[in-house]
Structure formats: C-alpha cells, structure tokens
C-alpha cells in the first residue's frame, strides 16, 4: 500500500501537466507514492493525449465531465495512500514536501500539514525553472484559522486520508456542481469545524505555476464569513457563484425579511435560522486574488 496518494485533476491541461507530474515524481524519490490523474471527460482522453510523456501518472482514472470538485472526490475514492495531496495540473510541489509532511504526521493529532509557497513561470525545461518566494505563510495549529483565515493554496495541505474520508462521509453540506468554482473551499469549510491539529513546515514546498494559458486557479478568491455568523459559513456558499465575485458584489438577496428565516432549504445546517443584523444574505464576501474568468474549470 502506498504511503502518499497525489491526486491530479485533468481537463485539457497537457501543456502544464508535464511540470506538475515531474514535480510529483521528484518529490516521490525514496517514498512509496501513487500519482493518480483524474481525467474529467477531457477530449481527447488523457490516456491518448499524454502518450509519450516522460513523467506520467501511475494510474489514469476517467470519468464523465463533472467539474473540479467531483474530480478530486473521485481521486479520493480511488486513492490507497495513508496521506492525500491534491495537485492541480498547473502547479508544482517541492522535492521535500512529502518527506517533511511524513515527519510532521508522526504526531497522531496532526491531520493536515502545510508549507510556505512560491511562484514559478512554466516555461522551458524543468531543471531550468526558477521559483520566486512568497512571504512566509502564517503559522497555526488551529483548524478554523488555517482553513478560513489563511485559506492556503489548494496543493498546500497534505491530509490524513482517514480525516478526509470522514469529512466526505459526513459533510456539513453536500457536494454540488455549484461548488466546482470553489472546490477547495468546499473542503476547507467542511474541515474547519472538525477536531485535529494543523502543522506548519517552513520552506517553499508549495509552488504555484504561472503561464500564459488558461490557468485553473486564475480566478482564485479568498472568502470570509459574515460577522453576524462567525460559525455559520454556509448560507452564502450554498447559493453558489454569482455573476460577480469581487467585494461581495452580486451576492444574494435580502433574506425573506430582516430577522426572517433563511430561504436556503438545501442548507440543512442553517435551515430556519434567524438573521439579526438585517443585512443582505452575504455570509461570504470575496476578495479577488486574480482576474475574473467565467470558464467552468476556473477556480476562485
């Protein structure tokens, strides 16, 4: 059985996935790692499109096109490792990321390990790439602070597989296609309220790819909760993405009446809860981290 499972969702990303897969192979040296590529209905199929790739995945899993969240969930379903890393097809990991995570997981209370970040322009040979360091990621062991306040890059957290499987089996709110543009946020909000510790490992082992093509994370957003509901992040998210994201503009309508019940019957965790601020239903307000892009596989 592998120790790590690296899950790479794939949708017409041949020009960048070679970098992601090579980074995963380099990080796997001396460790028992499986690299799973989940082909989310790409045409031509990934198995055909990636023939001849020098650093290919160990397994390709194909599904009909369902979006990023469901590609990650399918990968988790197929994964056999004790620890899980989600790696987008245009991102990289450092050569010491997995080994550093394994050391941190020696503490049985730790369920997630994360590192500092850097950026790299995906151009030329892998060995010639030069990373640009980002400011150090804040250090915390608190689940809510990490997943809600820090909100790391999608490939920063390495998870215990048992923790993720329990999260998926008993989510606060179910996975829906509306969450595809905020796929990592679905995991983060479900994880934030669960017991466990987060562990920070210093070093730029989480590397975000920069390139001229259609970047998966080109419209990445950071979310905060409405102050009236410091422990109720679900209402705004349950409405799904609106036509505009930045500064919270375009978020939902005023609740049925100031102080009235929440109309989102699909959100079982806050169904029939009362709003006391009288403000519009904006439990989540976004801060744009990039240019808006309406492509279905773009993540905020």
Least confident of 21-30, 110-119, 181-190: 181-190
Residue 253 is given by DSSP the state: P
Enumerate the β-bridge partners of residue 288. Answer: 221
**Whether 43 and 186 share a structural domain:** yes
- The answer to whether the bond into 10 is cis (omega within 30° of 0) is no
- Of 223, 228, 230, 225, the C-alpha closest to 258 is 228
Please list the alpha-helical segments (H only) found in 79-116: 97-104
Return d(Cα 32, Cα 2) in angstroms, integer. 5
Domain boundary among 152, 183, 210: 210
pLDDT at 278: 37
195 and 255 belong to one structural domain: no
Q: Are residues 193 and 258 in the same domain?
A: no
- Cβ proximity of 155 and 87 under 8 Å: yes
pLDDT digits (tens, 9 = 90+) for 82-92: 999 999 999 99
Distance CA 172, CA 260 (A): 22
Task: Mark whether 231 and 185 lie in a shared domain.
Answer: no
Domain of residue 93, residue span:
4-210
Domain stops at, among 162, 188, 210: 210
Residue 277 has pLDDT above 80, yes or no: no
Could you tell me if 130 and 108 lie in one domain?
Answer: yes
Does 52 share its domain with 122? Answer: yes
Mean pLDDT of 152-157: 96
Q: How much of the chain is helix, strand and coil, in % rounded to 5?
A: 25, 25, 50
* CA 220 to the chain's CA centroid: 10
Contact between 31 and 99 under an 8 Å Cβ cutoff? The reply is yes
Q: How many domains does the chain have?
A: 2
At 80 the three-state DSSP class reads: coil
203 and 295 part of one domain: no
DSSP track, 123-164: -S-GGG--EEEPPPPPP---HHIIIIII---TTS-EEEHHHH
Q: Which of 135-139, 175-179, 236-240 is the least confident region?
A: 236-240
Whether 90 and 16 have beta carbons less than 8 Å apart is answered as yes
Average pLDDT for 266-291: 33
Least Cα distance to 188 among 225, 216, 151, 230 occurs for 151
Token reading at 69: 């969240």
CATH of the domain at 74: 3.90.550.10
Between strands 59-63 and 33-40, the pairing is parallel
Question: Beta strands of 220-297 (E only): which ranges?
Answer: 221-225, 284-288
- Are 206 and 222 part of one and the same domain? no
Same domain, 175 and 42: yes
What phi and psi values does residue 178 have, to the nearest 5 degrees?
A: -60, -20
Q: How far is CA 144 from CA 118, 224, 242, 296, in A?
A: 23, 11, 25, 28
Considering 210, 235, 258, which residue would you say is the last residue of a domain?
Answer: 210
Nearest to residue 116, comparing CAs of 129, 103, 99, 97? 97
Between residues 235 and 34, the one the model is more confident about? 34
* End-to-end CA, the chain: 34
Q: Name residues whose C-beta falls within 8 Å of residue 144's C-beta, 6 or more positions apart in sequence.
A: 192, 193
pLDDT tens by residue, 221-271: 344 443 333 333 333 333 333 222 223 332 333 333 333 333 333 333 333
Size (the chain), residues: 300
Q: Is the pLDDT of residue 118 over 90?
A: yes
Same domain flag for 33 and 95:
yes
Radius of gyration, alpha carbons of the chain? 19
The verdict on 58 and 168 lying in the same domain is: yes
Q: Are residues 248 and 202 in the same domain?
A: no
């Amino acid at each position: 059985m592998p120790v790590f499972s690296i899950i790479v969702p794939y949708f017409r990303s041949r020009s960048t996935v070679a970098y992601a897969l090579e980074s995963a192979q380099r990080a796997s040296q001396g460790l028992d790692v499986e690299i799973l590529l989940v082909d989310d209905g790409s045409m031509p199929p990934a198995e055909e499109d990636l023939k001849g790739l020098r650093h290919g995945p160990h397994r390709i899993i194909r599904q009909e096109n369902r979006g990023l969240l469901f590609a990650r969930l399918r990968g988790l379903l197929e994964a056999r490792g004790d620890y899980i890393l989600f790696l987008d097809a245009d991102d990289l990991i450092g050569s010491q990321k997995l080994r550093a995570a394994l050391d941190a997981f020696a503490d049985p209370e730790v369920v997630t390990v994360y590192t500092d970040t850097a950026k790299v322009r995906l151009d030329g040979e892998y060995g010639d790439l030069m990373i640009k360091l980002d400011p150090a990621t804040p250090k915390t062991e608190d689940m809510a602070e990490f997943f809600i306040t820090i909100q790391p890059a999608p490939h920063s957290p390495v998870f215990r597989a048992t923790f993720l499987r329990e999260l998926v089996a008993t989510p606060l709110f179910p996975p829906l296609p509306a969450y595809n543009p905020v796929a990592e946020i679905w995991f983060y909000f479900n994880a934030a309220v669960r017991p466990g510790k987060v562990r920070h490992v210093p070093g730029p082992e989480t590397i975000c790819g920069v390139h001229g093509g259609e970047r998966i994370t080109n419209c990445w957003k950071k979310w905060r909760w409405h102050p009236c509901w410091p422990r109720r992040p679900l209402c705004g998210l349950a409405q799904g993405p609106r036509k505009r994201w930045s500064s919270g503009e375009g978020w939902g309508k005023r609740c049925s009446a100031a102080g009235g019940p929440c109309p989102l019957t699909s959100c079982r965790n806050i169904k029939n809860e009362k709003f006391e601020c009288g403000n519009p239903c904006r439990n989540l307000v976004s801060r744009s981290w990039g240019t808006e892009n309406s492509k279905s596989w773009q993540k905020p």
